[in-house]
């Protein structure tokens, strides 16, 4: 019977990194919480940094898929992004944006983790541009960058306020922006 050690390590790391931060979680804690042995850890990952990169890469793919599904379920309009976010912000386990958190923790703009976070934000912005273009908005790339700024602000503000309200305020601003 396979142990699925890699999957357990990735899931445990994602949960712990999101809840407590990347730097606060050491390899020993990951091993203990996942039930995976040290040799197995190093069979799958060269280092903790390698595991962090894997976690962020997989989280990026999963989060963007959830976003697209959530927006589609709400009619597909670009403003539906904010309704999706409001639902996420209302969750008891909301701890902010994993990618913003990772950039803040790492700080080094040349680090692989920082680049993964930057790539995630670029991919979400590109997704927004696609939504805007499909909805018939001109200058979709410029508008997408502006919506991304609102989204990032809402992500951080929701963490500070522990509320879904920042998504609704950002949606009001986006509505005005798209209506002009």
Token digits of residue 164? 């879904």
Terminal-residue alpha carbon distance, the chain: 60
pLDDT of residue 3: 64
- Separation CA 71–CA 83 (nearest Å): 8
pLDDT of residue 4: 92
pLDDT of residue 107: 85
Q: What is the CATH code of the structural domain delimited by 1-45?
A: 1.10.10.60
DSSP 104-119: HHH--TTSHHHHHHHH
Residues 103-144 have pLDDT tens digits of: 999 888 899 999 999 999 999 999 999 999 999 999 999 999
Token digits of residue 13? 């790391």
Count the Cβ atoms, other than its own, within 10 Å of residue 89.
Answer: 22
Token digits of residue 97? 């944006």
Residue span(s) of the chain under CATH 1.10.357.10 come to 47-179
- Separation CA 108–CA 22 (nearest Å): 14
DSSP code of residue 45: -
Q: What is the mean pLDDT of residues 71-84?
A: 98
Residue 158 DSSP SS3:
helix
Architecture of domain 47-179: Orthogonal Bundle (1.10)
Residues 26-70 have pLDDT tens digits of: 999 999 999 999 999 999 999 999 999 999 999 999 999 999 999
pLDDT of residue 75: 97
Count the Cβ atoms, other than its own, within 10 Å of residue 57.
Answer: 14
pTM greater than the 0.85 cutoff: yes
Percent of the chain with pLDDT over 70: 98
Residue span(s) of the chain under CATH 1.10.10.60 come to 1-45
Q: Average per-residue pLDDT in the chain?
A: 95
């Amino acid at each position: 019977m396979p142990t699925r050690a890699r999957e357990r390590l990735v899931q445990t790391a994602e949960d712990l990194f999101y809840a407590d931060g990347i730097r606060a979680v050491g390899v020993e804690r990951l091993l203990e919480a996942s039930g995976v042995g040290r040799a197995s850890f190093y069979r799958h990952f060269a280092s903790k940094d390698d595991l962090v990169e894997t976690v962020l890469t997989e989280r990026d793919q999963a989060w963007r898929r959830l976003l697209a599904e959530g927006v589609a379920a709400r009619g597909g309009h670009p403003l539906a992004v904010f309704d999706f976010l409001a639902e996420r912000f209302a969750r008891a386990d909301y701890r902010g944006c994993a990618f913003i958190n990772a950039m803040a923790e790492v700080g080094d703009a040349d680090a692989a983790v920082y680049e993964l976070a930057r790539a995630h934000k670029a991919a979400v912005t590109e997704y927004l541009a696609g939504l805007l273009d499909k909805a018939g908005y001109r200058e979709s790339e410029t508008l997408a960058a502006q919506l991304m700024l609102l989204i990032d602000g809402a992500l951080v503000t929701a963490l500070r306020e522990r509320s879904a309200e920042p998504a609704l305020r950002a949606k009001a601003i986006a509505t005005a922006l798209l209506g002009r």
